[in-house]
Amino acid sequence: MKTSLVFLLVHIFCHLCRAQKHSSDNDILLQAPNVESGEKKEQTQRSGTEAEEGEQELLIQSDIWAELRHLRDMVVEQKVELRHLTARVTTAESLVEALEKENSGTLHSVAFSASLLASGDGNTNAGPDFVPLIYKNVFTNIGHHYNPNTGFFTAPVRGVYFFRFTGHVAHSEIAMVMRLVKNGHLLVTAADRHTTDTDMEDNASNGVVLQLEVGDVVSVQLVGNVWDDHYHRTTFSGFLLFPL
């Protein structure tokens, strides 16, 4: 009887131990899904954060590309505007250059023309040696660079000039030799002489284009006789073609 009681107590104890173990296993099983659920929740949160970050990055990239396109458009507009400004500047420079040339021509307007005698008529006898002819009847003297007291023209600017002189032979058997000189040096000559009893009057002329420096002096010299009257047959003229 005592033995049976002991066996029964042992059996109950074992049953209780198995029940307790089963309960512990169930608790573990119950806790495992909770852990998995936490991990999944964390993964979900992480995925959401990564998605948000990805969206933000895409938005930033989109803004950058939009800004770059805007800058590109601005560069294109600036290039077009620069071309227009360059064309306007070129046009303005051309106008300025034209105005400068026009003003230069106005500032350096040089021209003169004169005949030998201011009044009356007759021969001017220079003798056997060359002497300067003084043209006293001034038609034009723009700039006043021809001196009717000396017969000298003095170049006011460096440039290219044209000169022409004429002489008339009449009522004389003495030959006429005229020459244009620059600073006293012979350049060109015009001459004529009485040849026959019927060759009583004649003309001679010459001209030249010269490059002159400031202060160069041009004049006409004569040997022999030259005639002038109210027809103004003996003349000396010159003008500036263009400055240099």
CB 110 within 8 A of CB 142: yes
Phi and psi at 147, nearest 5°, equal: -105, 110
What are the tokens at 110?
């040089």
- What pTM does this model have? 0.58
- Helix, strand or coil for residue 198? coil
Q: How far is CA 104 from CA 49, 108, 139, 159, 244, in A?
A: 80, 6, 24, 12, 10
- pLDDT confidence of residue 214: 97
Per-residue pLDDT tens listing for the chain (244 residues)? 545 554 555 555 555 556 555 555 555 444 445 545 566 666 666 666 777 777 787 888 888 888 888 889 889 989 998 988 999 898 988 888 877 766 655 568 999 999 999 999 999 988 889 999 999 999 999 999 999 999 999 999 999 999 999 999 888 888 899 999 999 999 999 998 776 777 778 899 999 999 999 999 999 999 999 999 999 999 999 999 999 9
